[in-house]
Amino acid sequence: VSLRTRLLLALAYVLLLAIVALEVPLALSIGERVDAEVRSQASNQALLVAACAADADDPRECQGLAGRAAGNVRGRVLIVDGQGTVRVDSAGTATGDFGNRPEIAAALAGRTFQERRRSETLDQEILATAVPVRGGGAVRITQSVDAVTRAVNRARLGLALIGLLVLAIGLALGYVIANQVARPLSRLEHAARQIGEGDLDARAPVEGSPEQRTLATAFNEMTGRMARLLKGQQEFVADASHQLRTPLTGLRLRLDEARAAGVSPEAEAELREGEKEIDRLAATIDELLILSRAGEHDAPGELVLTADAARRAGERWRVGVVDTGVSDQRVWCAPADLDRAIDALVENAVNYSPPGSEVTIVAEPAAVVVLDEGPGLAAGEEALVVERFHRGSAGRAGAPGTGLGLAIARELMSRWHADVKIANRQPGPGAAARIDFAKASPEAP
Ligand X SMILES: Nc1ncnc2c1ncn2[C@@H]1O[C@H](COP(=O)(O)OP(=O)(O)OP(=O)(O)O)[C@@H](O)[C@H]1O
Helix axes 265-293, 405-414, angle to 10 degrees: 20
Sign of CA dihedral 336, 342, 345, 348: negative
CB distance 64 to 77 below 8 Å: no
Binding of ligand X by 401 (CB under 6 A)? yes
Cβ proximity to ligand X: between 220 and 292 the closer is 292
Give the CA radius of gyration of the chain: 49
Q: Which residues contact 9 (CB under 8 A, 6 or more apart)?
A: 1
Binding test (CB under 6 A) with ligand X, winner from 137, 174, 314, 405: 405
Contact segment (CB under 6 A) with ligand X among 142-150, 253-261, 335-343, 389-397 equals: 389-397
Query: Closest separation between CB of residue 405 and Mg ion, Å?
Result: 3
Binding of ligand X by 385 (CB under 6 A)? yes
Query: Closest separation between CB of residue 444 and Mg ion, Å?
Result: 32
Binding test (CB under 6 A) with ligand X, winner from 431, 434, 435, 437: 431
| Nearest CA-CA partner of 80 in 106, 101, 104 | 104
CB distance 438 to 418 below 8 Å: yes
In DSSP notation, 338-390 reads HHHHHHHHHHHHHHHS-TT---EEEEETTEEEEE--S----TT-TTGGGSTT-
Binding of ligand X by 403 (CB under 6 A)? yes
Binding site for Mg ion (CB under 5 A): 348, 401, 405
Q: Which residue in the shown chain puts its C-beta closest to ligand X? A: 395
Phi, psi of 298 (to 5 degrees): -110, -75
Contact segment (CB under 6 A) with ligand X among 4-12, 110-118, 271-279, 370-378 equals: 370-378
Query: Closest separation between CB of residue 351 and Mg ion, Å?
Result: 6
Binding test (CB under 6 A) with ligand X, winner from 84, 305, 392, 420: 392
Binding test (CB under 6 A) with ligand X, winner from 377, 413, 418, 435: 377
Cβ proximity to ligand X: between 317 and 332 the closer is 317
Query: Closest separation between CB of residue 374 and Mg ion, Å?
Result: 12
Cβ proximity to ligand X: between 89 and 411 the closer is 411
How many angstroms separate the first and last alpha carbons of the chain?
29
Cβ proximity to ligand X: between 146 and 387 the closer is 387
Q: Which residue in the shown chain puts its C-beta closest to Mg ion? A: 405
| Nearest CA-CA partner of 252 in 269, 233, 274, 226 | 274
Contact segment (CB under 6 A) with ligand X among 114-122, 142-150, 252-260, 393-401 equals: 393-401
Binding of ligand X by 376 (CB under 6 A)? yes
Query: Closest separation between CB of residue 388 and ligand X, Å?
Result: 8
Q: Choose the contact partner of 403 out of ligand X, Mg ion, none; CB within 5 to 8 A by kind.
A: ligand X
Binding test (CB under 6 A) with ligand X, winner from 203, 391, 415, 434: 391
The residue type at 300? P
Site string for ligand X, 334-363 (x = CB under 6 A): ----------x---xx--x-----------
CB distance 130 to 59 below 8 Å: no
Binding of ligand X by 402 (CB under 6 A)? yes
Whole-angstrom Cα distance, residue 289 to residue 236? 10
The residue type at 271? L
CB distance 288 to 281 below 8 Å: no
| Nearest CA-CA partner of 348 in 290, 410, 422 | 422
Cβ proximity to ligand X: between 300 and 355 the closer is 355
Strand ranges (DSSP E) for 133-283? 138-144
Cβ proximity to ligand X: between 88 and 409 the closer is 409
Helix axes 265-293, 210-260, angle to 10 degrees: 160
- The site for ligand X (CB under 6 A) is made up of 344, 348-349, 352, 372, 374-377, 385, 391-395, 401-407, 422, 431, 433
